């Protein structure tokens, strides 16, 4: 499906934000599938579905710069992307970034497929020569290059039949100051103990989750012990009961008088802010009405007319 290299002479510049967005899209879809298949062995889980979206940027002469991307839904029946959502997104981006245009689309996978050409052709009415950015989510530690491939489409004559084929294009990574700071911050989240999966954030969240599970299990043990003591299955232990009572007194009581006073104060402050916002809105509307009335009255006075109010 793909030829060796492109002969168009275009120079592509890819921004890190595009790679981060595609990777985030793939990770979220993969996590949702794992959550929906909770309890199923990881080895028996099917591979996560491919994700699809559009890439936007600018083209200056022979230089194509891809700045950003947004996700889209894929229709496997018509081999097309969600056009209504694409058009809405295009209008929104035009308001904020009037120079950005839809340059093409992106997907995930190890290689370009024949069905990708069908999607590619449906976007040619927006861009006559769309770009296809393919991200390979498989981890290959021996590969030093980025697992990103940019394809163009060219018309080749094979056995006397013109066919549209994907051709690989070279690209360079281009960054701005804001992206450089963000990527540098992400790069510092390295594996804590040399592991390949856990980052510092993941290790921190895992530690909190383990502590909560341990606390929950110990509370269950105490609750079962107290229930057995209440039923008379085990003799009463006054020292243990005093320790439990002391522990409970340390916990913040939600029904205390101080909590009710603080809660009512916060609640009243919120209502007051909403009331002031409503008064401000009414005052602004009334001010506009007075201005319109003054303009209309002055106009009638200059013309010598008479205004009758009913």
Position 228 in a domain: no
Q: Model confidence over 121-175: pLDDT tens digits?
A: 888 888 888 999 999 988 776 777 888 999 988 887 777 788 888 888 889 988 8
Range of the domain at 35: 2-188
Residue 41 has pLDDT above 60, yes or no: no
Pairing label, strands 2-3, 161-169: parallel
Are 105 and 82 in contact by the 8 Å Cβ rule? The answer is: no
pTM score of the predicted model: 0.57
272 φ, ψ (degrees, to nearest 5): -65, -40
Pairing label, strands 63-72, 52-60: antiparallel
What's residue 309's pLDDT? 47
Position 29 in a domain: yes
Q: Model confidence over 1-21: pLDDT tens digits?
A: 555 666 677 889 999 889 988
Position 41 in a domain: yes
Are 55 and 66 in contact by the 8 Å Cβ rule? The answer is: yes
Tally of structural domains, the chain: 1
Position 36 in a domain: yes
Return the DSSP state at 256: S
Closest CA to 89 of 104, 71, 76, 106: 71
Helical packing angle, 238-250 and 200-231, nearest 10°: 140
Closest CA to 22 of 148, 118, 127, 160: 148
Q: How far apart are CA 80 and CA 237, in angstroms?
A: 71
Split at pLDDT 50, 70, 90, the class of 196 is very low
Closest CA to 59 of 20, 22, 9: 9
- Residue 91's CATH number: 3.40.140.10
Position 16 in a domain: yes
Cβ neighbours of 181 (radius 10 Å): 11
Position 252 in a domain: no
Residue reference for tokens 């021996």: 142
Position 90 in a domain: yes
Position 123 in a domain: yes
Give me the residues paired with residue 65 across strands: 13, 58
Q: How far apart are CA 72 and CA 24, in angstroms?
A: 14
Q: How far apart are CA 182 and CA 173, in angstroms?
A: 15
């Amino acid at each position: 499906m793909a030829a060796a290299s492109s002969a168009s002479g275009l120079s592509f510049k890819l921004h890190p934000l595009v790679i981060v967005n595609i990777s985030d899209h793939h990770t979220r879809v993969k996590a949702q599938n794992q959550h929906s298949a909770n309890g199923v062995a990881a080895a028996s889980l099917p591979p996560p579905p491919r994700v699809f979206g559009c890439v936007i940027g600018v083209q200056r002469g022979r230089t194509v710069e891809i700045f950003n991307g947004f996700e889209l839904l894929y229709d496997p029946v018509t081999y097309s992307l969600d056009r209504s959502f694409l058009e809405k997104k295009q209008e929104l981006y035009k308001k904020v970034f009037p120079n950005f245009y839809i340059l093409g689309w992106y997907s995930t996978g190890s290689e370009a497929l024949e069905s990708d050409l069908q999607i590619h052709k449906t976007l040619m009415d927006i861009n006559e020569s769309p770009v296809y950015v393919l991200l390979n989510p498989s981890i290959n530690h021996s590969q030093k290059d980025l697992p990103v491939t940019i394809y163009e489409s060219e018309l080749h004559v094979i056995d006397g039949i013109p066919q549209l084929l994907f051709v690989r294009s070279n690209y360079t990574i281009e960054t701005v100051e804001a992206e450089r700071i963000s990527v540098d911050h992400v790069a510092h989240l390295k594996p804590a103990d040399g592991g390949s999966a856990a980052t510092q954030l993941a290790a921190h969240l895992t530690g909190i989750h383990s502590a909560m599970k341990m606390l929950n299990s110990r509370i269950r043990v105490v609750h079962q012990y107290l229930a057995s003591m209440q039923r008379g299955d085990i003799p009463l232990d006054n020292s243990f009961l005093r320790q439990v009572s002391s522990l409970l007194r340390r916990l913040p009581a939600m029904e205390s008088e101080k909590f009710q006073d603080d809660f009512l104060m916060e609640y009243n402050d919120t209502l007051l802010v909403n009331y002031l916002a409503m008064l401000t809105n009414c005052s602004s509307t009334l001010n506009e009405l007075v201005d319109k009335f003054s303009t209309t009255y002055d106009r009638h006075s200059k013309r010598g007319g008479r205004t009758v109010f009913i």
